Amino acid sequence: MLNDYNFKSILKNELNYFIKYKRSLGLKYEKEISRLHYIDNILYKLKLKNKRITKEIFYELTKRNNMNGENYARQYGVTKDFCKFLIFNGYKNIYYKEKKFNVINNYKPVIFNDKEIDLLFKTIDKEKKQT
């Protein structure tokens, strides 16, 4: 298989297939490519002889390594999803662990009442008339 994303570990083809799988489902994958390269680099450094992800390898892949909470949660999620993909495709000796993250979100929704919505539309309509 053509190694589209220059992966170099023993699971390089599977990493490419994972991206193609996500693309075929219409899922976002562009931001995950760097995270998959992170996985690939660790697997390459481990010099694996067999296509497997043991508990020890999974923990090596999901070490925090100075990542902030949000980045770590995303890296963990991509690693877990890749492991699930391998299992789904019949690979044996693949380990992963579910983990819940509480990522703090500073987003606060704004809820307008009917009067405020009317005022907003009237103001916009007035601006359109003046231009």
Question: What is the 8-class DSSP label of residue 32?
Answer: G
Q: What is the pTM of this model?
A: 0.74
- pLDDT tens-digit readout, 20-74: 999 999 988 888 999 999 999 999 999 999 999 999 999 999 998 888 888 899 9
User: Is the dihedral angle over the CA atoms 39, 40, 45, 46 positive or is it negative?
Assistant: positive
